[in-house]
Structure 1
Amino acid sequence: MSTALAGMNILVTRPAHQAGELAAKVRLAGGNPVLFPVLEIRDTNNLGPLLDIIARLDEFDFAIFISPNAVEKAMTRINAIRPFPPSLTAVAVGQGTRNALGHFGIDKVIVPSARFDSEALLELRELREVTGKRFVIFRGDSGRELLGETLLKRGATVTYVECYRRVKPEADTAPLLRTAASGKLDAIIMTSSEGLRNLCEMVGAAGQPCLKRVSLFVSHERIAQTARTLGFTRVILTAPGDRGLLEGISNYLRVQATGKDSFSSRQ
């Protein structure tokens, strides 16, 4: 990758255990990643339902993993107890989740090829005709119901299982706010609507104005809508994944440097 982000301070907001790869890519592009996790991933409070599902995995046809965190938490427990059934088809919402499954030796995975969300997953041929099929959905402590509700309407049976919790971290926001207030924060990368709301709560009403003036890069329209609702004024929608986010930042900064104003905030 080039030095397209040379000298730029880029706020990386992923959970601490997941920020390293994106931060490394920012450095490779010449930028300076500013690590400020806005989500913390913890084990579920009640392991009982997860352990029960693990014991009954052979009863299901499809296992849908909503996120890399779902893979990490569920597969760690599964591998400690039993093999992943060869008859069980793994389904991932995005490429990051697919890669996480690969780390556990699961290489045959159904995954969308372009957009990475429930809508894209439901468009796949394998999930259109599912009458009588049995699905288990591994996810966090809350989430959208669209996927499960649609599968039910298509004649499938659906079981949700919580395998982790998302909580708002405790953090010292003073260094971040000093950087933003001095105009030295060049971009914010945000990959979660919940995380964006957490960021606003963490910095408080007094700290929000300086952050809302910083260019905010998101890879999904749903996050962009949340950002606009919260009052962020420079929201740039990029292609999915780390590559899409970094290319979006690079393209935006390049256009800004040329003095042009034709760059769209809805790529």
Structure 2
Amino acid sequence: MPNALANLTGQRVLVTRPAHQAAQQIQQLRDCGATPIPLPLLAIHPIEAADPRYHLLKTQMMNIDEYQIIICVSPNAAKLAIEWIDEYWPQLPVGIEWLAIGGKTEAMLNDAGIPAKRPAEGFNSEAMLTMPTLTELNGAKVLILRGDGGRATLAEGLSQRGAIVTYANLYDRCCPTYEDTLIQSTIYQSSLTSILITSGEALDNFVTVVKGRQQQFSINSLLSLYLVVPSERIAEKARTIGFTTIMVAQGPDDESMIKALTLANDSEANA
């Protein structure tokens, strides 16, 4: 655990990452002395063979050698893309520029033998568009590996630079459903002090989920909790919802999110 992370003893922190991605963040919070409260706000469902979209996806993954640039937008996309490639490409095709949004996505691809690069700074589409590789794209074929929906800014920017952009939708992102009794005990009766949210979609799902199945719970008591988000765009969205104490982390990775929580905690202690 980085030395920069301070003591968070007494903090009860809502962890909202998908269940299969939350373990490291939960452990880091425990190492800081905090009590993590898990409530996944995104469920990841890979496209299965029975899905009508499966045939197109299979065709795209069997023909990745047709693309000059392939961009992987998330660790979920990286994990599933690696599985597809292992299935159909015993030897990785040459001549493809592999790019990744975020250090974790880059590391997953590199660990699988896929030589990916990421932006020097930033974790979003705007950062990706600053990469020199994407400056002049006259007629270049670009495949974006993603979950269904999202990343319109990236595709629009690439198209404006002359790229021919195709999406490969590897999975769906869904809002989980929870029993009202679990929401009561996890959210309203657990003395939360802060919330970690890593995407605008997760923020929307948070508001939906914590209102209960019949939208019967008021979220007013939650709006003054520390809310840690990875970008000013999501912070602005949170302000429109009514959150009043928002910390913007340097990125959505675990270390940046917990460091922002540490800064919020230090600010409160010194107020």
- TM-score between the two structures when normalised by the length of structure 2: 0.89
Q: CA deviation at 1:179?
A: 5.5
Deviations 1:215-261 (A, max 9, x none): 10001112112211212121111111221111111111112112x2x
The CA distance in 2 between the partners of 1:98 and 1:39, in whole Å, is 21
Counterpart of 1:163 in 2: which secondary structure? strand
The CA distance in 1 between the partners of 2:168 and 2:187, in whole Å, is 40
Question: Does the 8 A contact of 1:177 with 1:210 survive in 2?
Answer: no
In the alignment, what sits opposite 2:41?
38
- Code of the aligned partner of 1:214: L
Question: Does the 8 A contact of 1:177 with 1:207 survive in 2?
Answer: no
Deviations 1:59-81 (A, max 9, x none): 11111011111111222112112
1:13 and 2:20 equivalent?
A: no
1:196 and 2:203 equivalent?
A: yes
Question: Does the 8 A contact of 1:11 with 1:35 survive in 2?
Answer: yes
Question: Does the 8 A contact of 2:187 with 2:210 survive in 1?
Answer: no
1:114 and 2:125 equivalent?
A: no
Match of 1:221 among 224, 227, 232: 232
1:103 and 2:111 equivalent?
A: yes
**Where does the alignment leave 5 or more consecutive residues of structure 1 unmatched?**
261-267
1:92 and 2:97 equivalent?
A: no
Counterpart of 2:219 in 1: which secondary structure? helix
Question: Does the 8 A contact of 2:74 with 2:146 survive in 1?
Answer: yes
Q: CA deviation at 1:160?
A: 0.9
Q: 1:165 and 1:120, CA in 2 relative to 1: closer, same or farther beyond 3 A?
A: same
The CA distance in 1 between the partners of 2:57 and 2:186, in whole Å, is 42
In the alignment, what sits opposite 2:268?
256
Count of residues in correspondence between the two structures: 258
1:24 and 2:32 equivalent?
A: no
In the alignment, what sits opposite 2:192?
185
- TM-score between the two structures when normalised by the length of structure 1: 0.90
Identical aligned residues as a percent = 33
Q: CA deviation at 1:121?
A: 0.7
**Where does the alignment leave 5 or more consecutive residues of structure 2 unmatched?**
none
- Code of the aligned partner of 2:112: F
Q: CA deviation at 1:103?
A: 3.4
Within-5 A mapping of 1:105-254: 105-106=113-114, 108-178=115-185, 180-181=187-188, 184-204=191-211, 205=215, 206-240=217-251, 241-254=253-266
The CA distance in 2 between the partners of 1:64 and 1:125, in whole Å, is 14
Identify the range of structure 1 (160-169 vs 197-206) with the bigger mean alpha-carbon deviation. Answer: 197-206
Question: Does the 8 A contact of 1:180 with 1:210 survive in 2?
Answer: no
Q: CA deviation at 1:198?
A: 0.8
Counterpart of 2:108 in 1: which secondary structure? helix
Identify the range of structure 1 (7-16 vs 171-180) with the bigger mean alpha-carbon deviation. Answer: 171-180
Question: Does the 8 A contact of 1:137 with 1:159 survive in 2?
Answer: yes
CA-based RMSD of the aligned residues comes to 1.7
